[in-house]
Amino acid sequence: MSGGTVVVVTGGTRGIGLGLVRAFLARGCRVALCGRSAGAGAAAGEAGEALPGPADRVLERVADVTDRGQVQALWDAAYERFGRVDVWINNAGAAAPRRPFWELSAADVEAVAAANLLGTAHGSAVAVTGFLAQGRGRLWNMEGFGSDGRALPGLGAYGATKSAVTYLTRAIAADLDERARAHPHDVKALRLSPGMLVTDLLVHGYTPEQYAKARKVLDILADRVETVTPWLADRVLNDRTRNGGRVAWLTRRRAAARFATAALRRRDVLPETLPVR
């Protein structure tokens, strides 16, 4: 893939999503993005002043990814504006408060499951259906903590949804392989793993005391959005990942190397205190 590639990024108005939008635009792509509400769209509009490239290469829509009709409308708008969609990235997500699973309210659990799993499922269904009609396309689903099977206290709801996203993506890839035997196509379902990036989602739910303790590890493992998203965009556009495969920034080898050199190379990527909201 090269300049002119049409990319859709859900949850593209802030954080990792906005970083990806900027990276793709800087590489000559045309990009459609969405936020959950008019308020989110307005915020992206302000940030849009710093977006690289001409405005006619950007399409912004309001879309709630938990509503398949709104997700379909996002696809339709991108297709109408750009004539095709080459890459769809399910990035929109949410996190629950960091507390034992049984202490989470039903609303907390339902909100995380809806955004992370249901939203990814709807985006995947819409994108793959459109890609098969075109004969070609790349679906990328965003992994997160829990995708590799690890578990930590306070991350039960979030980790469970990300584990499910990984399985869902692999299952879609298997379905695509099965379909290709009878009806050849060039559609892939893939996984994008950004690692720990400094966003609101990373520090969501910490008390000041918990944050002070966690920051010691996060400063070793975390990276800034502007460091990682260009690398991720390059790998997406490189298009060498096999169907069902994964592109990961924070590999186990990289994490181990950082811990091994932590005493020699100090990293300060997070603020000393929790950001005020």
d(CA 20, CA 11): 10
3-class DSSP assignment, residue 7: strand
pLDDT over 60 (residue 91): yes
pLDDT over 70 (residue 161): yes
Q: Which residues are catalytic?
A: 158
- The reported pLDDT for the residue numbered 205 is 67
pLDDT over 70 (residue 274): no
Tell me the average pLDDT across 231-256: 92
User: Measured between alpha carbons, how far is residue 50 from residues 18, 26, 41 in Å?
Assistant: 11, 11, 15
**Percent of the chain predicted with pLDDT > 70:** 90
pLDDT over 90 (residue 130): yes
Contact 60, 11 (CB under 8 A): no
Average pLDDT, the chain: 89
Angle at 275 between CA 269 and CA 277, to 5 degrees: 150
Confidence category of residue 43, pLDDT binned at 50, 70, 90: very low
In this structure, which long-range contacts are made by residues 35-44, counting pairs with CB atoms below 8 Å and at least 24 apart in sequence? 35/11, 35/60, 35/62, 35/63, 36/62, 36/63, 36/64, 36/65, 36/92, 37/62, 37/64, 38/62, 40/13, 40/14, 41/13, 43/13, 43/14, 44/12, 44/13, 44/14, 44/18
CATH no. of 6-204+224-249:
3.40.50.720
Confidence category of residue 30, pLDDT binned at 50, 70, 90: very high
| Phi/psi of residue 266, nearest 5 degrees | -75, 135
Instruction: Kindly list the domain boundaries of the chain, sorted by start residue.
Output: 6-204+224-249
pLDDT tens, 199-240?
Answer: 776 666 677 777 777 677 777 777 889 999 999 999 999 999
